[in-house]
């Protein structure tokens, strides 16, 4: 239920998830290089990713065109299935690392896998 208390709890937990996720993702050479080459502002990215993930949790529609649009716009480059696999694996491991609630975990991973399809070149 998206009441104020659950929102606060989620926000804290998702902040932790995003911190751990990018720390882990940057251990992967491709992501380290890509972020560097694009001059990504990591703090800005983390704060946007945090808002985005919270929006995914709060949203009960299966496919949300706005979310798809946002992911497509910010990933004008295409990526390979291998890199997509690494991103999702690191996300799963980070969720495990912070013991994220199972229901939220499943909901997020389902949506993230769907969103990933919009930026992967087969």
- Distance of CA 110 to CAs 18, 39, 98, Å? 17, 29, 19
Query: Which residue lies nearer to ligand HEM by CB, 64 or 79?
Result: 79
Query: Which residue lies nearer to ligand HEM by CB, 6 or 74?
Result: 74
Instruction: Note whether 21 and 99 are within 8 A (CB).
Output: no
Least distance to ligand HEM from the beta carbon of 44, Å?
7
Query: Which residue lies nearer to ligand HEM by CB, 3 or 103?
Result: 103
Query: Which residue lies nearer to ligand HEM by CB, 3 or 43?
Result: 43
Least distance to ligand HEM from the beta carbon of 102, Å?
19
Residues 6+ apart with CB under 8 A from 107: 56, 57
Structure letter (DSSP) for residue 80:
-
Q: What is the dihedral of CA 54, 110, 62, 15, to 10 degrees?
A: 0
Structure tokens at 76: 């004008």
Residues lying near ligand HEM in the complex (CB under 6 A) are found at: 34-35, 38, 40, 45, 48-49, 52, 70-71, 74-75, 79, 83-84, 87, 112, 115-116
Least distance to ligand HEM from the beta carbon of 115, Å?
4
């Amino acid at each position: 239920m998206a009441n104020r208390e659950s929102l606060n709890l989620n926000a804290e937990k998702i902040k932790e998830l995003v911190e751990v996720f990018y720390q882990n993702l940057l251990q992967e050479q491709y992501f380290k290089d890509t972020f560097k080459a694009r001059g990504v502002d990591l703090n800005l990215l983390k704060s946007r990713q945090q808002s985005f993930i919270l929006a995914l949790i709060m949203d009960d529609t299966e496919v949300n065109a706005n979310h798809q649009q946002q992911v497509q716009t910010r990933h004008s480059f295409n990526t390979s299935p291998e890199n997509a696999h690494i991103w999702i694996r690191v996300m799963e491991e980070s969720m495990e690392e912070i013991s994220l609630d199972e229901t939220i975990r499943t909901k997020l991973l389902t949506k993230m896998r769907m969103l990933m399809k919009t930026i992967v070149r087969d």
